[in-house]
Chains A and B, each alone.
Chain A
Amino acid sequence: MSDLYKPPLFEIRGVTFAYPGRPPSLEEVSFTVRKGERVALLGANGSGKTTLLLLLDGLYFPQGGRIDFEGNPIEAHSLEDGEAVRHFRRRVGLLFQNPDAQLFSPSVREELLFAPRQLGLPSEEAEERVETVLNLMEISDLRDRPPQSLSTGEKKRVALASLLTAGPSVLLLDEPTAGLDPRSQSRLLDILEQLHGAGLTLITATHELLLLPHLADRAVVLSPGHRLLAEAPADEVLSDLALLDRANLIHIHSHRHGDVLHRHPHLHWAGHHHEEP
């Protein structure tokens, strides 16, 4: 089934947000994420990707426009109702860029039990989920380790595992591959691929053009001015150098070979491109 026929999961309509006393982090941003999609929020540092994830997770609320999740608005008062908030938190998980912010329990096992406990799951079911996720993420050996003693790659996996025990259908991932070595990156990408295969919707904030095809099928590009620049399949975005330049994601520079002026970006994923002026 084409993605267009899938039901919308998140509908973001004209969203504007500013932190107190600061210029807007997002201005008039609109797009839709459908069930089972893999969408990347692509933008340079400071373009508002993380803020958008926090809004999608109902941690902050837009000052203009609206965000709907499964047809219901995400608003402060709608998340005050105990049942509604439990339903939402169970369905949507957010992976923070800094795993130290996310891992606060005394051991990995307790960390994984945190969400099921908060969501009021029976302890047997919670334990069962922890075992399943420990095995899925191949971190059973870390079970009794304190999170602060783990490597960055292990912390990222534990942080992701701590979301999965809630049984989410949507994962919001903030720079999931940041700070990881190539092996850990590839391992994490495999896990995300598996999760997507299992039907999860993945929304990933990233500026890693090299990894974009592995992270998403579609990209929502944010401008340095915190507005929506484009919404297109990942490969189209990657081949649109003018768009990437406007998004401040590549640097196009000029140099001369004799009488000929070359203007070209450095593209890691496509080698060294040369364009005639």
Chain B
Amino acid sequence: MLALSRLWTHLEDPPPSGLFALADRAGPASLVATVLMAILVVAFARTPFLLGVLLVVPLGGLLASGGGRGRPAALVAASALFSLIVAFPALFAWISPGQALVPPGGPTQGKTPPWAVTDTGVYLAARLAMRSTASVAWVALMGHLLPFGKILKGLAAWRVPSLLLALLSMGHRYLQVLSQCAQEMHLARLSRSLAGGDLREEQAWVGAGLGSLYRRTRRLAEEVTLAMVSRGCTAEAPQLVGVSPVEPKAFFLPAVAAGVGLFLLWLERQ
């Protein structure tokens, strides 16, 4: 949570050069739609080769962009690791029957043992991991190039419901405040610690810290609600992001992305 929050904090003021300048010129509505197109193509891609290409492109973008790319790259790496863990069971014959590649102990009476790694399993696991990592990589690239407020503006321009935008915006805001709060609690604890405690002490502290964080979250949520009501917000979803019309030029980049994507999907199916 902290790392994700730091990622967004860091990205609020990107220097307007290179890819950042390009993103600036394209505008948030265009970039958001382009990334959405890319994710759609990722969702429909079947072969590890095409998925690999769709993973390399945003990673290349991150590498080429400069300006604090370490954190989005770390986010992609964490996502890849998580996807591999989730996809791990799919490697084995009891989930993905197929030709055994690594049969521990070899085939028994001509049957593939359920714990054998199969070719189908490797294919499925690779596809699952690459698909989710590529999707996260595109989102990370977007988060790297656009401040969070502009991403919301881009979504609002495409008429994403204001309730969803309010949830995203408030969620992001809470994350910021809470991560800061968690960091302060951690530092306050460090400043009063003479030496590292044992596991039991650590567990007690984590439990107490979570409880304290929960209480603060509740209090902050109540205060935010009161502040919104005080400024005229009624039971309806508050409009936190202004809606500006989509300019014709905003269609260009998403249209190119859609065209290239469709072509790649067509090629893959030949």
A→B interface (CB under 8 Å): 54, 57, 59, 82, 85-86, 89-90, 93-94, 96, 98, 100-107, 110, 113-115, 117-119, 144-149, 162-163, 166
Contact B239 A117 (CB under 8 A): yes
Known A101-B220, A104-B169: A96·B227 in contact at CB below 8 Å: yes
What B residues does A94 contact at CB under 8 A? Answer: 227, 230
What B residues does A106 contact at CB under 8 A? Answer: 148-149, 152-153, 169, 172, 240-241
Cα distance A145–B233 when bound, in Å?
Answer: 23
Question: Chain B interface mostly helix, strand, loop or mixed?
Answer: helix
Cα distance A103–B12 when bound, in Å?
Answer: 16
Interface centre among A101, A102, A103, A147, by most chain B C-beta atoms within 10 angstroms, is A101
What distance in Å separates the Cβ of A176 from its nearest Cβ neighbour in chain B? 15
What distance in Å separates the Cβ of A122 from its nearest Cβ neighbour in chain B? 13
What distance in Å separates the Cβ of B68 from its nearest Cβ neighbour in chain A? 14
Question: Chain A interface mostly helix, strand, loop or mixed?
Answer: helix
- Which of A100, A148, A149 meets B220, CB within 8 Å? A100
Q: Does B147 contact A (CB under 8 A)?
A: yes
Q: Does B173 contact A (CB under 8 A)?
A: yes
Interface centre among B152, B153, B234, B242, by most chain A C-beta atoms within 10 angstroms, is B242
Contact A118 B234 (CB under 8 A): yes
Cα distance A113–B239 when bound, in Å?
Answer: 9
- Which of A59, A98, A107, A149 meets B229, CB within 8 Å? A59
Q: Interface residue count for B (Cβ, 8 Å)?
A: 31
Contact A104 B173 (CB under 8 A): yes
Q: Does B64 contact A (CB under 8 A)?
A: no
What B residues does A103 contact at CB under 8 A? Answer: 173
What distance in Å separates the Cβ of B155 from its nearest Cβ neighbour in chain A? 11
What B residues does A86 contact at CB under 8 A? Answer: 232
- Which of B172, B227, B240 meets A101, CB within 8 Å? B227
Cα distance A54–B222 when bound, in Å?
Answer: 12
What A residues does B148 contact at CB under 8 A? Answer: 106, 146
- Which of B170, B229, B242 meets A104, CB within 8 Å? B170
Contact A104 B149 (CB under 8 A): no
What distance in Å separates the Cβ of A143 from its nearest Cβ neighbour in chain B? 11
Contact B12 A149 (CB under 8 A): yes
Known A101-B220, A110-B242, A146-B148: A115·B232 in contact at CB below 8 Å: yes
Contact A110 B241 (CB under 8 A): yes
Q: Mark B11-25, 1 if CB is under 8 A from A, else 0.
A: 011000000000000
Cα distance A162–B152 when bound, in Å?
Answer: 20
Smallest CB gap from A79: residue in B: B229
Smallest CB gap from A94: residue in B: B230
Known A146-B148, A148-B173: A104·B232 in contact at CB below 8 Å: no
What B residues does A163 contact at CB under 8 A? Answer: 231
Smallest CB gap from A109: residue in B: B242
Smallest CB gap from B175: residue in A: A148
Besides A93-B230, A106-B240, 17 new A-B residue pairs in contact (Cβ under 8 A), listed by A number: A82-B234, A89-B230, A101-B226, A101-B227, A102-B224, A104-B224, A105-B169, A105-B241, A106-B153, A115-B232, A117-B242, A118-B238, A146-B148, A148-B9, A148-B173, A149-B12, A162-B231
